Amino acid sequence: MDAVDHAILDVLRADSRTSMREVAERVGVSRSSAYDRVRRLVEGGVIRGFTIDVDPAALGLGLSAYVHVRIKQNSWKSFRARAWDLPEAAHVALVAGDFDCVLLLRARDSDHLREVVLERVQALPEVLGTQTVLVFEEHTGHS
């Protein structure tokens, strides 16, 4: 990857709907070169997909929390599958430290979050314990 590839990634990270003509103009290459470079980045696995950034609050999910989870040894794969089955799960990660996993959950309100954590996450057979951290303010690379 060279500086042009990095510049293309910056443009597409900011708005994945940017036309190839505009991408090419902004990074100083021809449109066919921009197409070829993006195709190569996709085929090489650098670009894993094109997505949208949705405001959870606009969907009625105004409360976010990181839930740190301790799980039984060798249960990551089954825990990951069960965690992704939760409609409220926005991110699931295996981490190092005092906890084994971190979930980013989106909920309507504190009652909904309580129900998800206490009645569904803690009920998973792999879970040994949790700690919930509320998110007061959140910023993505786009905000």
Establish if 93 belongs to a structural domain: yes
Whether the model clears a pTM of 0.85, i.e. scores above it, the answer is no
Largest CA distance in the chain: 55
Q: Which domain holds residue 84?
A: 56-135
Tokens of 73: 């040894």
Whether residues 33 and 61 share a domain: the answer is no
Q: Describe the chain by its helix, strand, coil percentages, rounded to 5.
A: 40, 20, 40
Tell me, yes or no, whether 38 and 62 share the same domain: no
Question: How confident is the model over 108-125, as pLDDT tens digits?
Answer: 999 999 999 999 999 999
**pLDDT per residue as tens digits for the range 25-51:** 999 999 999 999 999 999 999 999 988
Alpha carbon of residue 62 to chain centroid: 17
